[in-house]
Amino acid sequence: MPLKFKSFLQAKPVYKGGKSKPVSRNGKKIYKLSSNENMLGSSPKALAAIQAQVSTLNEYPDYSDIRFRLALEKFYAGKLEANQFITTNSGVANIELITRAFLEEGTECIFSNPAFGPYRGFPKKVGAKSIDVPLIGANFQLDVPGILKAITEKTRLIFVTNPNNPTGTHLPKTQIDELINGLPDHVVLIYDEVYYQYVTADDYVRAFPYVQAGKNVIGINSFSKAYGLAGLRVGYAYSTPEIAAYLQQLRRPFMINSLSMSAAIAALDDTEFIQRTVALILQEKDYLYAHLDQLGIPYWKTQANFILIKPDMDTDLFEAKMLEAGIMVRQTASFGAPGCVRVTIGTREANAAFVAALQQIRN
């Protein structure tokens, strides 16, 4: 009798992560502007915590994550309690955990392209159906009426990223209010806010006030971006006590390693590093705007640490030419934004190299 595989696991995964940094060729420095990483490095307090923990690697890490959740409670000034947090190995691991908790064969979720790939990839792993209600307009706004119309009795989750990846645009509070007020009780809104530290828009809102109000909302965060800890893979979510308690049932003992947990706890207290990181992004995105305007390259103004641009050539060719010039960028067709490229905002050195490469490949 042949092995029986689940039919929904036969499909090729849609999402592909960013490329690793290649070895430099001919001594040329390679600037990795393809993965939205922190170009200033990592939180110094996190690095110090890692060094202090290295000598204990022969020991098991914390059995539970209570120490981490208590630190998060303190970070949120007690406005969220420890039992409202769910910690995992990265923000994307929380998306997978939530998917496993709420979706199965015969159920549905809704996402809006252009969007982060796991929103449509992970539901397939449990046999659920993903419904795309695309973002609309020149600034990629949420089609709230379209989403509410697409909800059925089979719908369990709605995925929203704010600011959005890969567009960098944000969804105003009025749209989020309209969406949440229209959701039936059996639907949970997954509110991915991993880039929130970079936002300057007055009409931006986090998941926080909706969770405080008892709405079926889960906020997702990561230490990979602003804190510069992408290599450690650590993140967290927060929700109502009821939803958080349910999701906790899917966590396993010793889930987060000792280095990641200690680094994340220390990073929460590193406000100086976050301030430096945000200041760099705010300064350097204006620098890039000016040069993109000068070169006549269309782009979208961003509320994140990256910029979506629309090159005047095939994106495969553009990516190859940029790499040849020492710059790594990310095509966004897999995100639902064909013909565009996402570029991480880096240091002045990296950004100047990016501008020089643009000028070079267009001559």
Q: Is 273 exposed, middle or buried (0-12, 13-18, 19+ CB in 10 A)?
A: buried
CATH number, domain at 319? 3.90.1150.10
State the total domains in the chain: 2
**Could you tell me if 117 and 263 lie in one domain?**
yes
Task: Identify the three-state secondary structure at position 259.
Answer: helix
Angle 34-37-39 (CA atoms, 0-180°, nearest 5)?
Answer: 105
Looking at the predicted structure, is the pLDDT value of residue 347 above 60? yes
Q: What is the DSSP string of 39-57?
A: TT-S-HHHHHHHHHHGGGT
**What's the mean pLDDT in 111-124?**
94
Residue 5 φ/ψ, nearest 5 degrees: -100, 150
Is 5 domain-assigned? Answer: no
Same domain, 192 and 228: yes
The reported pLDDT for the residue numbered 23 is 56
Residues 128 and 190 in one domain: yes
Give the CB-side neighbour count of residue 344, counting CA atoms within 13 A.
22
pLDDT (0 to 100) of residue 219:
98
In which band, very low, low, confident or very high, does the pLDDT at 1 lie, cut at 50, 70 and 90? confident
Q: Average pLDDT in the 215-220 region?
A: 98
Q: Is the pLDDT of residue 13 over 60?
A: no
Answer whether residue 230 is part of any domain: yes
Of residues 36, 39, 43, 111, the one with CA closest to residue 302: 36
Same domain as 356, residue 334: yes
30 lies in the same domain as 81? no
Strands (E), 226-355: 235-238, 299-300, 306-309, 327-328, 330-331, 341-344
Q: From 243, 267, 291, give the residue that closes a domain.
A: 267
Per-residue burial over 221-242, b if 16 or more Cβ lie within 10 Å, else e, is: bbbbbbbbbbebbbbbbbbbee
Q: Does some domain include residue 102?
A: yes
For residue 9, pLDDT beyond 80: no
Residue 17 has pLDDT above 60, yes or no: no
Does an H or E element contain 356, and which? helix 348-361
Q: Are 31 and 330 in contact (CB under 8 A)?
A: no
CB atoms within 10 A of CB 180: 20
Burial class (CB within 10 angstroms; exposed 0-12, middle 13-18, buried 19+) of 70: middle
| Residues 6+ away with beta carbon under 8 Å from 117 | 14, 15, 16, 334, 335
**pLDDT the model gives residue 21:** 63
Contacts of 22 by beta carbon, 8 Å cutoff, 6+ apart: 30, 323, 328
The sheet carrying 330-331 orders its strands as 299-300, 306-309, 341-344, 330-331
Instruction: Give residue 28's pLDDT band: very low, low, confident or very high (50, 70, 90).
Output: confident
Whether the pLDDT of residue 122 is over 80: the answer is yes
Instruction: Tell me the CB-side half-sphere exposure of residue 253, using CA atoms within 13 A.
Output: 2
Domain boundary among 200, 235, 267: 267
Query: Cα(34)–Cα(284) distance, rounded to whole angstroms?
Result: 16
Q: What is the pLDDT, as a whole number, of residue 76? A: 97
Same domain, 225 and 171: yes
> Token pair for residue 269?
């207290």
Question: How far apart (Å, rounded) are the C-alpha atoms in residues 288 and 347?
Answer: 11
Give mean pLDDT, residues 174-183: 98
Give per-residue pLDDT as tens, 293-317.
Answer: 999 999 999 999 999 999 999 999 9
Residue 101, in any domain of the structure: yes
Q: Where are the beta strands (DSSP E) in 193-326?
A: 217-222, 235-238, 299-300, 306-309
Q: For residue 37, is pLDDT > 80?
A: yes
Is 4 a domain residue? no
Q: Give the pLDDT confidence score for residue 26 in this predicted structure.
A: 64
Note the pLDDT tens digit of each residue in 140-151: 999 999 999 999
Domain with 178, as residue range(s), is 44-267
Quickly tell me which residue has 């290649």 as its tokens: 22
Judged against a pLDDT cut of 60, whether residue 14 lies above it is answered with: no
What is the token pair recorded at 61?
A: 């890490």
Average pLDDT over residues 323-347: 96
pLDDT tens-digit map of 181-192? 999 999 999 999
Instruction: Quote the pLDDT of residue 16.
Output: 56
Q: How far apart are CA 306 and CA 168, in angstroms?
A: 7
Q: Which residue has the tokens 């955990």?
A: 97
Average pLDDT value over all residues in the chain: 94
How sure is the predictor about 262, in pLDDT bands with cuts at 50, 70 and 90?
very high
Look at the chain and count its residues: 363
Structure tokens at 333: 């067709």
The answer to the question of residue 2 being in a domain is no
DSSP, res 187: -
Q: Are 90 and 124 in the same domain?
A: yes
